[in-house]
Every structure is written in C-alpha cells, then in structure tokens.
Chain A
Amino acid sequence: KQEVTQIPAALSVPEGENLVLNCSFTDSAIYNLQWFRQDPGKGLTSLLLIQSSQREQTSGRLNASLDKSSGRSTLYIAASQPGDSATYLCAVRVTGGGNKLTFGTGTQLKVEL
C-alpha cells in the first residue's frame, strides 16, 4: 500500500527566506505527483504536477523536483511571503491504481513579517 510522508509537519520562517518542503512515498511505481496548497477552511489548489518521466516543474517562485527511484519530492519556495502561509500537501497517483490520489498529511507553513 502506498504511503506518503511529509516532513516537517509544521514550519515557521521569516519573510524572504527560501525554504524546502519534503515529501516521500513508499512505492516508486507512480504515474505522477502533485503538490497542492490548502488554506484554512478551503479546498485544495493544485500548484504543480510532475509526470513520472519528469524531474522537475517550475511555476513562479515554486519549483518541485521528483526523484522517483528514491521515492522523494521536494517543493522549493523562493523568497517566501506572508501570503504563502498555508498547508502544503503532496499526492501521488500510483501506476495501476486507478485515478485516485494518495495524499500526505501536509506541512503547515507560516511565513512571518
């Protein structure tokens, strides 16, 4: 059974700092990996989608990398801002597992002024 772990569970940083969020998964036979953002009381917003054949994806200040063989992904946030404060979730779609996503428990990020 695929298990997804995110470290750290919570993170507090000063504004302007670059930071890295980590995601690991136990089954490397994945179709793709996604990073989502969840604001309190809200649904999830897809940030980046990395196909299994890709190594990284970039969108603005966000960069996500994928190392499928080691079962790891990182989300890099450059020059963090208070508006980046949210919970960040990674999710994998397992090859042959249908269309469902398996989520980690998330990293709660707070960017302070």
Chain B
Amino acid sequence: GAGVSQSPRYKVAKRGQDVALRCDPISGHVSLFWYQQALGQGPEFLTYFQNEAQLDKSGLPSDRFFAERPEGSVSTLKIQRTQQEDSAVYLCASSLARTTGNTIYFGEGSWLTVV
C-alpha cells in the first residue's frame, strides 16, 4: 500500500484480555517504530526495529508488552493481560533509512480501549 497500515483501527478489550496490534510499514522501509499516545498527550516511544532486529525496547512499559518483526516487514505489538492504563492510541511509523534523518511516516493508529 501507499502508506503505513495498522489494524485493527479500533479495539475494545476486557481487562485481562490479550490483544495483538498489527503494522504493515511502507514496502522497503528499514526502520519501524511503535509509539503509545494517551489522550491529550504527545506520542511516547515504545520500541524500534531495524529490519527484523529489535534494537531498542527501552520504552515498553512492562513485561506485558511484546513486539516482533520476524521477517523485517510486518510487525505485531502484543499486550498481555490488558489493564485500563493501557488504553491509548498505538501508532506505528516507518522510515526508509536506518536513522530518523529521513522522513518518518506514521500510520493512523490502533485505538485501544480497555474496559
């Protein structure tokens, strides 16, 4: 596709349920990022991949959060045993180069509500 695609766009999960959020980056993009954006806040960094290698996961808030990109293209962010504080928009972004000196393209996000 022409842009970064995320699915599902909207997800309502019951507390304690596991969720999986998918990101399809722009074809050929080396770098892939996940950010979490709470209502009224700026995005907060979660994790970064260069191809299939997860080079930075310093922003993952707990061990309930796990991300993978096994073949260097599609990525999945998994949240286990969801809590209400996990409610946020999860944004995926990709860029062509290894550094963010190049333009970074964001998807429209996956809106997660935990009830």
A contacts, CB < 8 Å to B: 4, 31-32, 34, 36, 41-46, 49, 51, 89, 91, 93, 98-106
Task: Determine how close the nearest CB of chain A comes to the CB of B52; give it in whole angstroms.
Answer: 16
Task: Determine how close the nearest CB of chain A comes to the CB of B20; give it in whole angstroms.
Answer: 19
Task: Determine how close the nearest CB of chain B comes to the CB of A53; give it in whole angstroms.
Answer: 11
User: Which of B43, B103, B107 is in CB contact (< 8 Å) with A103?
Assistant: B43
Is B106 in contact with A43, judged by CB distance below 8 angstroms? Answer: yes
A43 to B6 Cα, complex, angstroms: 10
B-chain residues with CB within 8 Å of residue A41 when the two chains form the complex:
108
User: Which of B41, B45, B108 is in CB contact (< 8 Å) with A43?
Assistant: B108
Is A45 in contact with B106, judged by CB distance below 8 angstroms? Answer: yes
Task: Determine how close the nearest CB of chain A comes to the CB of B56; give it in whole angstroms.
Answer: 5
B contacts, CB < 8 Å to A: 4, 31, 33, 35, 40-45, 48, 55-56, 58-59, 91, 93, 98-101, 103-109
Task: Determine how close the nearest CB of chain B comes to the CB of A6; give it in whole angstroms.
Answer: 8
A105 to B56 Cα, complex, angstroms: 23
Task: Determine how close the nearest CB of chain B comes to the CB of A75; give it in whole angstroms.
Answer: 15
Beta-carbon nearest neighbor of A49 in chain B: B103
Instruction: With A43-B107, A93-B100, A104-B42 given, name 12 new contacts (CB 8 A).
Output: A32-B101, A34-B104, A43-B93, A43-B106, A46-B103, A89-B42, A91-B42, A99-B55, A99-B99, A101-B33, A101-B104, A103-B43
Task: Determine how close the nearest CB of chain B comes to the CB of A37; give it in whole angstroms.
Answer: 11
User: Which of B40, B41, B48, B105 is in CB contact (< 8 Å) with A100?
Assistant: B48
User: Which of A36, A100, A104 is in CB contact (< 8 Å) with B59?
Assistant: A100
Cross-chain pairs A/B with CB under 8 angstroms, 23 sampled: A4-B42, A31-B100, A34-B104, A43-B91, A43-B108, A43-B109, A44-B91, A44-B106, A46-B104, A46-B105, A91-B43, A93-B100, A98-B48, A98-B56, A99-B98, A99-B100, A100-B33, A100-B56, A100-B58, A101-B43, A101-B45, A102-B45, A103-B35
